């Protein structure tokens, strides 16, 4: 792993996904756009499965939501390594999510702990 390494995933959420999420959250109705926690789940997936991958411990996530994410529209989430701290087994990553037309839906950063994979 090195600074600049990047992983991405694309997913479209259906209104049924939001209805299921709303039911789990105890909400009466699903929101008019993809709920923010479902967008953050894309980052979680990437960190745990793609980059850094298995064994990653999520320590911190900061996300700014900038635009709505319509249902049934592909969203592409990405994570990019911005800093490695091998002495502490820490990896800093930039996170972003875009709609198919390039509109930036969310951006932020994540901090993860990855034993024996940094450096």
**Around Cβ 100, how many Cβ atoms within 10 Å?**
12
pLDDT band per the 50, 70, 90 thresholds, residue 117: low
How many structural domains is the chain composed of? Answer: 1
- Express each pLDDT in 52-93 by its tens digit: 999 899 999 999 999 999 999 999 999 999 999 999 999 999
Is residue 1 one of the residues assigned to a domain?
Answer: no
Is residue 119 one of the residues assigned to a domain?
Answer: no
Is residue 82 one of the residues assigned to a domain?
Answer: yes
pLDDT band per the 50, 70, 90 thresholds, residue 44: very high
pLDDT of residue 119 exceeding 60, the answer is no
Is residue 20 one of the residues assigned to a domain?
Answer: yes
CATH number at residue 52: 3.10.129.10
């Amino acid at each position: 792993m090195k600074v600049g390494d990047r992983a991405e995933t694309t997913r479209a959420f259906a209104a049924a996904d939001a209805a299921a999420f709303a039911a789990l959250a105890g909400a009466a109705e699903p929101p008019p756009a993809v709920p923010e926690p479902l967008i953050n789940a894309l980052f979680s997936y990437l960190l745990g499965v793609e980059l850094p991958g298995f064994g990653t411990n999520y320590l911190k996530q900061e996300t700014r939501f900038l635009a709505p994410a319509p249902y049934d529209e592909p969203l592409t989430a990405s994570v990019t390594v911005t800093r490695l701290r091998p002495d502490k087994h820490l990896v800093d990553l930039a996170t972003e999510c875009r709609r198919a037309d390039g509109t930036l839906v969310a951006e932020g950063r994540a901090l993860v702990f990855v034993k024996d994979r940094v450096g």
